Amino acid sequence: MESSTTPKRAVDAATIAEAFRITASQRAAEVAVRTKGDAVSWTWAELREKVDALAGGLAALGVKRGDAVALMLSNRPEFHLADIAAMTVGATPFSIYMQYTPEQIQYVVQDAGARVIVTEPEFLDNVLEARKSLPDLEHVVVVDGEGREGTTAIEDVMGRADGFDPEASVAALQPNDVLTLIYTSGTTGPPKGVQLSHRNLLSAVSAIEEMIDFPEGSRVISWLPSAHIAERAAHHYLPIVFGFQITSCPNPREVLGYLPEVRPQWFFAVPRIWEKLKSGLEGMLAADEGARKAVEAGRRKVQLEQAGEEVPADLAAEVAAADEAYFSKWRAMLGLDQVLAINVGAAPTPVEVLEFFHAIGLPLAELWGMSETCGAGCVNPPDRIKIGTVGPPSPGVEVKLGEDGELLVRSEVVMLGYRNLPDKTAEALDDDGWLHTGDIAQIDEDGYVKIVDRKKEIIINAAGKNMSPANIEATVKSSSPLIGNAVVIGDAKPYNTALVVLDADFAPAWAQQRGIEDTSLESLAQRDDVRAAVEEAIEAANAKLARVEQIKKFTIVQGDWLPGGDELTPTMKLKRKPIAEKYGEQIATMYS
């Protein structure tokens, strides 16, 4: 029986806001959030002091329990400050993707009903343009900005905190109060506001404790968009509950450079990051025959373990020696020598990428989750990873398959519903509490889940054959670092074709090495030698695909596809219908 004098743990709090105050009290002198090189470094006590001042200032602006507060901020310490301050008032903070246009900003701010937005100079022009169509948006609060007409500096808001009682405000919150809104990426229409409660997120983060025993003083890097549930859950709410130290990385392209300084205990990234890391390591060891043999030995050991077969003693010894001579040094060089869990998600990850990192002692594990499930759902436990699956359900999560193979989820992590969309909520949540995810899946005899594809994205060709475009695209992208993106076309068609986008980082470097002067993606897309290299990669991908899945023709698109643009959502999901419309002429040519 627990003693009544035992301090309450943050994970046992009723709300995330209460969890923050417990963590700030128990870890007052520890660093809560920082920037690289400690240009900014706030302890938990300092963060709480700033939070209370800003919460009081927001209350003075008229923000009250149940109101929404919009945040359009990059990955910086002030995001955590503003978000926690809003929840301390009892409001619902939500983030806006940094790539959003004024029209998109106007849509989500109006849908949420926000009267206050906190932003920074980089996004201020778009915010002020959107404000012209937002009569209810009363206050624009600016971080690091000189006073512009119609805006208020965050320091001035923090100076209005007189008379606000943060403890009483937090004590009045309830577990089912809406903690945040996550606006879906909008691949098939306007984004929907997923309403997540304090109870939802506490359930999601507490499940982590059952799977991973993170040590005191664990570290994470905040680098994904804060409008995405993965960033909020992994690099905001998890640190609040467990006292992790957060390092802010404002430019996601630089995150791999942050790893050696931070040496995180948990690192999550999308497949493309891991594919680039693999390509870089393979390029580094291309001339070292001993290193290549070491990786191949590690890969053989992984394959035997995954197949449930015994690893011969001589192979185990060879890999142990390789780990001492090579792998341990690579992990230290990467800054991943202290990780307890490394994960990949949001899109299929090629098996060879997963096997490579397992081989060098980095057990990369796929996971699956949605905005509607707080990012939680299924995850491979670090010590029981099944490559090719997203793992078993997380603790506290039930899963089953619908009649058509759709994955259904029931748990405390499942959203309250979509904001202002009762019909869409009723479509997603049935009367028994099962969330219909829209993903087609398989569940094996051990309860491990394999995601096949999105229900609405399955390709059915002219012969009636069902295919997963996402898995074909993952195979194509992993066939060469030259390929940055690919979309497969084939629905109701006699064969599959693909639109290919060159990698914005690798392709220019590849061109420079070959003495090509014009390294722009537009120019490279028209070169015969580039096309030959891509064709070779497509042939390598086809060798791994079933005959019906193979790419018969392809077109290299001029330029890049950027998050939030015509082709990609802010979370880099393909907008398949707009792509088909925009590139209709090129697609038609491939079938002519």
Q: So where are the chain's domains? A: 10-267, 458-590
Please report the pLDDT score of residue 279 as a whole number. 85
| C-alpha to C-alpha distance for 295 and 364, rounded to whole angstroms | 15
Confidence at residue 5, expressed as pLDDT on a 0 to 100 scale = 63
pLDDT for 188 equals 60
Cβ pair 496, 465 in contact under 8 A: no
pLDDT tens digits in sequence order for the chain, 592 residues long? 444 567 889 899 999 999 999 999 999 999 999 999 999 999 999 999 999 999 999 999 999 999 999 999 999 999 999 999 999 999 999 999 998 999 999 999 999 999 999 999 999 999 999 999 999 999 999 999 776 888 999 999 998 877 899 999 999 999 999 999 999 875 566 889 999 999 999 999 988 888 888 888 899 999 999 999 999 999 999 999 999 999 999 999 899 999 999 999 999 998 888 988 998 898 888 889 999 999 999 999 999 999 999 999 999 999 999 999 999 999 999 999 999 999 998 778 889 899 999 999 999 999 999 999 998 899 999 889 999 999 999 999 999 999 999 999 999 999 999 999 999 999 999 999 999 999 999 999 999 999 988 888 888 888 887 888 888 998 998 888 899 999 999 988 899 999 999 998 889 999 999 999 999 999 999 999 999 999 999 999 999 888 889 999 999 999 999 888 889 887 778 888 899 999 999 999 999 8
Nearest to 572 by CA among 469, 505, 476, 487: 487
Question: Angle of helix 289-306 relative to helix 313-322, nearest 10 degrees?
Answer: 130
The pLDDT, as a whole number, for residue 455 is: 82
pTM, two decimals, is: 0.88
335: phi then psi, degrees, rounded to nearest 5? 85, 20
Contact (CB, 8 A) for 77 and 154 = no
Which superfamily is assigned to 458-590 in CATH? ANL, C-terminal domain (3.30.300.30)
Distance CA 127, CA 312 (A): 62
Interior/surface letters 127-162, b for 16+ CB within 10 angstroms, e for the rest: bbebbeebeebebbbbbebeeeeebbbbeebbebbe
Comparing CA positions, the residue from 487, 485, 579, 568 lying closest to residue 185 is 568
- Contact 519/530 with Cβ under 8 angstroms? no
State the DSSP string of 469-525.
HHHHHHHHHHT-TTEEEEEEE-TTSSSEEEEEEE-TTHHHHHHHHTT-S---HHHHT
Cα–Cα distance between 495 and 493 in angstroms, integer? 6
Q: Where are the alpha helices (DSSP H) in 91-191?
A: 102-112, 121-131, 154-158, 166-171
Cα 246 from Cα 221, distance rounded (Å): 6
CATH topology of domain 10-267: Rossmann fold (3.40.50)
